[in-house]
Structure 1
Amino acid sequence: MKGILQLAFKLLVNDSAKFTALLVGITFAVFLMVEMTSLFAGILNKSSSTVINVGAKMWVMDPAVQTIASSIGMPDYVLDAVRSTDGVKYAVPLYSGTALVKLRDGTYQAVTVIGLDDASLFGWPVMKQGKIEDIYAENGFVAIDDAEFVKLKNPTLGTDFELNDHRGVIVGIATVASSGLFGTPTLYTTYKRAVTYIPTTRYTTSYILVEPKSAADIAHIKQVVQSLGYVAFTKKEFMARISHFYKYETGLGTNIMLMTVISFIVGLSISGQTFYTFILENLEKFGALKAIGAKRHELIAMILFQATFTALTGYGLGIGLCAALISLARIRIPDYAAIITFGNLALAFAMVVVIAAMSSYLGIRRVLSIEPFDIFRG
């Protein structure tokens, strides 16, 4: 069998034109599939950036909330009721909203404002400059140093701005695990200052962050919150809810899926047709092998080896090309969303296996149908 596989390898690579065409087709298909799904994964990750950065185990919110950006205010009694629920270690309010700030040079910039609980500052970011306690200073805000930081004109400690006729001062610069999706810089401040500076509706509590005493208490907390007319989600559940919204209730998921399917069809058609042409051009060699005693399973092994080797090589090249281009894009575009996940790699691998299987099937059918007599007669 080893000799048969060596012969199959030589037959494959000696026809450099066909081998290159096969690699290009599969590489291009894998590149498109991974690029599209990676971009989608990056968008979904950024859509849950506040959930990731704050890190609360449970989130209480209005049932109509679908994304972190579409918060609906809750009355204060909900916070009191949650705090008094059995199994709750502590619960704090969180403000999440948008505002328009006037920078020092007179330009206006939309920002996302996160208001942390005044007493605990639960969910505060990792400080890069300054101390988190400085957020209590008059007009104090902490700017997040991410891809959108430059839109604030790269502020330093002491830089001031205007927010709804209120003066704001940068008292700290911090970093977070994930930057936002909508291309707006993020400012952290206290909950009280956020609801004072920014025009709000009657109710100002966007979310209630809950720390359960144990995992066993989560179900009871959810039940109590539901009886109040609101919902409680764990961190993973809330992220899944946000992802579901972008996947199925916007055109984003459908567009990405169509592009992935088109990439698969392109790869399948190119590789299938090219591999079948390769088999036809080498039909005499397969017929000769059959005539000198090559068994049926050995011919099948040759074709499977050739298709698998080509598919896996193209898969590796496609992944490498995608990773290289994403890295280059991030150098030029810091907020580029694409991230390669194990799920993306697994999906692309599964599709490559299908491409290899279909290509092999076409080749095997043709090779097994030939008769050595016909080859030598020709």
Structure 2
Amino acid sequence: MKGILILAYKLLVKDKGKYTALLVGTTFSVFLIVQMTSSFAGILTKASATVINIGAKMWVMDPAATNSVFGSIPMPDYVLDSVRSIDGVNYAVPLYVSSALLKLQDGTYQSATVIGLDDTSLLGRPELVQGNIDDIFAENGFIAVKDEEFPKLGNPTLGTEFELNDHRGVIVGIATVATGALFGTPTLYTTYNRAIQYIPSTRFTTSYILLEPKSDSDIPRITEQVARLGYLAQTNDEFQNGIESYLIYKTGIGTNTLLMTVISFLVGLSICGQTFYTFIIENLEHFGALKAMGAKGRELVYVILFQAGFTALVGYGLGIGLATVLIAAAKLRLPEYASRVTYTNLGLAFLLVVIIASVSGYAGVRRVLKIEPFDIFRG
């Protein structure tokens, strides 16, 4: 068997033109698949940025506000008191999320997302790299998130001032978060009361309620009790999944990604299938000679499968490497570029490559098994 596989390898690489065409087709297909799915994964992650960065155990919201954290519907104050009284709730605090228009020191205007944290606990506060968290309670105190959108604020430092709805704001801290925002706007953190004072809003101001259950076994009961109030309680993972489901099934993002992935797969399948079949046809005399020398049908099948599988694996590795390098290079030049390579992306690309190799190999196997040594030598 070892000798057969060595022969299969030499037979494959001897025809450099066909071998190169097979590698190019597989590599290009994998590259496109990984690029599309990685961009989609990056968009899904950034869409849930606020949920991920806050990191609350459970979220309470209006049932109509499950599509995006930026589509919150303010809740009356009594909802917070009712949630706190539910058996199994360790604590519950309000959260304010809204967009605002800032006037920077140079006179330019910049949209930003303002997150108001509970004044008492500051639940969901980001990790500071500069400044002191206690300074957020100072007059006009705001914390700026240093992510991809940070330069849009003019790269502020501690003490940088701006205007928000004719109110003076001061940067008292620079923070980092796990995930940057999707919609191209920088993020500021402040206290809940300051946020509702500075930003015009409706008479209800609680965007979400963050709560901590006493134990995981209390989650179903809390969810049921909140539902009786007419509101929705979700765990952190459930909220993220809801946002992702909305983007996948109720927007054009999921459909466009699926179409481009299918097109990439078909391109690779057509190039590799046609090239590999041509390669088999041009080497029929070699397979006929092997059969005449006593090679069994299954050994010829091993030769075909080895050639298809070897080409697919090499092309898969080259495609992954090329996609990873280009994504890394794009992020160096465009920090806000939303792309993230995940195990799911890699697994999907590998599965599609296996299908490409299987279809290509199947066409070759059928042709080789029909060959008769007599026909080869007679020709």
Look up the match of 2:15.
15
- Where 2:156 maps in the other structure, the secondary structure is coil
User: 1:368: how far off?
Assistant: 0.5
> Where in structure 2 are the equivalents of 1:97-176 lying within 5 Å?
97-176=98-177
User: 1:365: how far off?
Assistant: 0.4
> Where in structure 2 are the equivalents of 1:237-248 lying within 5 Å?
237-248=238-249
- Where 2:280 maps in the other structure, the secondary structure is helix
The CA distance in 2 between the partners of 1:318 and 1:259, in whole Å, is 16
1:369 maps to 2:373: no
- Where 1:335 maps in the other structure, the secondary structure is coil
- Cα deviation per residue 1:100-148 (whole Å; 9 max; x = unaligned)? 0000110000000000000000000000110111000000000000010
Look up the match of 1:304.
305
1:32 maps to 2:32: yes
**Deviation >6 Å, runs of 4+:** none
Look up the match of 1:355.
356
2:238 is matched by which residue type in structure 1?
E
The CA distance in 1 between the partners of 2:133 and 2:48, in whole Å, is 23
Look up the match of 2:59.
59
1:224 is matched by which residue type in structure 2?
Q
Unaligned stretches of 5+ in structure 1? none
1:187 maps to 2:188: yes
The CA distance in 1 between the partners of 2:359 and 2:10, in whole Å, is 22
- Cα deviation per residue 1:320-378 (whole Å; 9 max; x = unaligned)? 00000000001000111100000001100110010000000000000001111110000
Paired residue total: 378
- Cα deviation per residue 1:71-114 (whole Å; 9 max; x = unaligned)? 10000000000001111000000000100000011000000000
1:238 is matched by which residue type in structure 2?
F
1:6 is matched by which residue type in structure 2?
I
1:42 maps to 2:42: yes
The CA distance in 2 between the partners of 1:260 and 1:340, in whole Å, is 15
The CA distance in 1 between the partners of 2:281 and 2:84, in whole Å, is 74
Look up the match of 2:292.
291
User: 1:202: how far off?
Assistant: 1.8
The CA distance in 2 between the partners of 1:137 and 1:171, in whole Å, is 8
2:200 is matched by which residue type in structure 1?
P
Unaligned stretches of 5+ in structure 2? none
The CA distance in 2 between the partners of 1:375 and 1:177, in whole Å, is 65
1:51 is matched by which residue type in structure 2?
V
- Where 1:374 maps in the other structure, the secondary structure is helix
The CA distance in 2 between the partners of 1:19 and 1:4, in whole Å, is 19
- Where 1:121 maps in the other structure, the secondary structure is coil
Look up the match of 1:6.
6
User: 1:201: how far off?
Assistant: 1.3
- Where 1:359 maps in the other structure, the secondary structure is helix
The CA distance in 2 between the partners of 1:54 and 1:323, in whole Å, is 29
Instruction: Tell me the C-alpha RMSD between the 2 structures.
Output: 0.4
User: 1:276: how far off?
Assistant: 0.3
User: 1:224: how far off?
Assistant: 0.5
The CA distance in 2 between the partners of 1:231 and 1:325, in whole Å, is 42
- Where 1:23 maps in the other structure, the secondary structure is helix
User: 1:240: how far off?
Assistant: 0.3
2:14 is matched by which residue type in structure 1?
N
> Where in structure 2 are the equivalents of 1:79-90 lying within 5 Å?
79-90=80-91
Look up the match of 1:68.
69
The CA distance in 1 between the partners of 2:121 and 2:237, in whole Å, is 23
- Where 1:293 maps in the other structure, the secondary structure is coil
User: 1:228: how far off?
Assistant: 0.3
The TM-score normalised by the length of structure 1 is 1.00
Look up the match of 1:267.
268
The CA distance in 1 between the partners of 2:75 and 2:217, in whole Å, is 26
Look up the match of 2:347.
346
The TM-score normalised by the length of structure 2 is 0.99
- Where 1:69 maps in the other structure, the secondary structure is helix
Look up the match of 1:279.
280
Look up the match of 2:220.
219
2:80 is matched by which residue type in structure 1?
L
- Cα deviation per residue 1:194-240 (whole Å; 9 max; x = unaligned)? 01100111210000001000000000000010000000000000000
The CA distance in 2 between the partners of 1:117 and 1:319, in whole Å, is 44
The CA distance in 1 between the partners of 2:204 and 2:255, in whole Å, is 36
2:110 is matched by which residue type in structure 1?
Q
User: 1:241: how far off?
Assistant: 0.2
- Where 1:364 maps in the other structure, the secondary structure is helix
User: 1:18: how far off?
Assistant: 0.5
1:255 is matched by which residue type in structure 2?
N
The CA distance in 1 between the partners of 2:24 and 2:41, in whole Å, is 25
- Where 1:307 maps in the other structure, the secondary structure is helix
